Amino acid sequence: MKHREAKKVVNSRQRFRQYIPDLNDLAHKLYVGCFLLFIFAPIVVTVLYAFNSSRYFVWPIQGFSLEWFRQAWHNRLLIEAFANSVIIALATTALCTAIGTLMSFGLVRFRFRGRGFLNILVLLPVVTYGIVSSISLLLFFDMVHIQRGIGATILGHTTFLFPFAVIIINGRLTNFDTSLEEAAMDLGARPVRVFFDITLPLIMPAIVAGALLVFTLSFDDFILSFFLIGNTNTLPVYIFGLIRYFMTPAVNAAATALIGITMIFVILISFFFREIRTIWVGV
């Protein structure tokens, strides 16, 4: 009896709730909206000033102009820095993917003495990535007389970024269903064939996701490049110099181009390669 009455009360409450807006949900939505606004404010402002006709960063925007894109395009140092960044990122990605895939295979598929130690050793560069590692590499290269420059930067980036590839590929390999490989072997395939026909295609999403992550991290890296690049520049290092000594909207123009490319890239990948997205952002 009592139970039924209680149920009635709950029901009437629920019925009542339909008619008033869900304040809780509304507050949540408002909060998410504000957060997105906060997160996108810097991007929007960067893009706006790229099209500004004044060279001063004063609000409001003065007028529309493409002058800064022209200047960015004709800025030899900027283009050189961009080219260097691309070269370094590509080389680093190639090296990291090769080393990372091999290492991950060794760590997941084999049991050997020192495996636990190696698992931790691989994680250390991720923990100390930043100023400490840049300093140690700077001193090391100085000691063994390796000239600072693009080559040294590639070596440095690879050291600290291939562990990221290992972590991502490890995730995939650990959940790997080995019965597929066994089936292939039972059907008479040789180990090399099994690797290329079964294993590689199945872990490919992880390899690609790792490569993309390494590429972005390498392209955006400031601190390692700053100490290792020597006389020339990478894009973040060049922009850092400009921010400190000479702010110009040409930076905004270059940044706008980059943001555009990145956005298209990320959106395409997120929507078309579900598996990569799963590994990447966990959704």
Partner 1 sequence: MGGSPLTSRTERADERPRTPARKRGRGKYKLTLILLPGVAWLFIFYLIPTLVMFRYSLLSNMPHIAPPTFTLSNYLDAFCTTLYAKVFLRTARFSTSVTAMLLLSCFPLAYYLAKKARHQKEILILLMIPFWTSQVLRAFAWIILLSRSGMVNVLLGRLHLIEEPLRLLYNWRAVTMGLFYSYIPYMILPLYAAIGRVDDALLEASTDLGANSWQTLWNVTIPLSLPGIVSGAALVFVASFTDVLSPTLLGGPSNEMISSVIFNTFTMGSNWPLGSALSFILLAALLLAAALIMVISSRVRYET
Binders of partner 1 in range 254-283 (CB under 8 A): 255, 258-259, 262-263, 265-267, 270, 277, 281-283
Q: Residue 10 interacts with partner 1 (CB under 8 A)?
A: no
State yes or no: residue 26 binds partner 1 (CB under 8 A): no
- Which residue's entry shows tokens 């691309």? 86
Question: Is 205 a binder of partner 1 (CB under 8 A)?
Answer: no
Q: How far is the CB of 179 from partner 1 (least distance, A)?
A: 6
Among 14, 18, 179, 231, binds partner 1 (CB under 8 A): 179
The Cα–Cα gap between 217 and 280 comes to 13
Q: What part of residues 156-175 is at the interface with partner 1 (CB under 8 A)?
A: 156, 158-159, 162, 166
CB of 88 to partner 1, least distance (A): 13
Beta strands of 100-191 (E only): which ranges? Answer: none
CB-based burial label for 39 (10 Å; 0-12, 13-18, 19+): exposed
CA separation for the pair 13, 17 (Å, rounded): 6
Which of 117, 61, 124, 100 minimizes the C-alpha distance to 210?
A: 100
Using rule CB under 8 A, residue 37 touches partner 1 = no
CB of 76 to partner 1, least distance (A): 20
Q: Is 6 in the site for partner 1 (CB under 8 A)?
A: no
Of 13-21, 62-70, 202-210, 238-246, which segment contacts partner 1 by CB under 8 A?
238-246
Among 66, 102, 204, 268, binds partner 1 (CB under 8 A): 102
Can you tell me which of 60, 116, 188, 201 binds partner 1, judged by CB under 8 A? 60
Q: Which among 228, 81, 226 has a CA at the least distance from the CA of 154?
A: 228
* Residue closer to partner 1, measured from CB, 12 or 119: 119
Question: Which residues have CB under 8 Å from 124's CB, separation 6+?
Answer: 163
Element (H, E) at 215: helix 200-220
Smallest gap from residue 124 Cβ to partner 1 (A): 7
Residue 39 as a binder of partner 1 (CB under 8 A): the answer is yes
Binding partner 1 by CB under 8 A: which of 86, 94, 240, 257?
Answer: 240
Of 150, 155, 209, 250, which lies in the binding site for partner 1, with binding defined by CB under 8 A? 155
User: Does 154 help bind partner 1 (rule: CB under 8 A)?
Assistant: no
Residues 6 or more apart whose Cβ sits within 8 Å of residue 29: none
For every residue of 6-75, DSSP letters joined together read HHHHHHHHHHHHHHS--HHHHHHHHHHHHHHHHHHHHHHHHHHHHTBSSSS--SSP--B--HHHHHHHH-
What is the nearest approach in angstroms of partner 1 to the Cβ of residue 159? 4
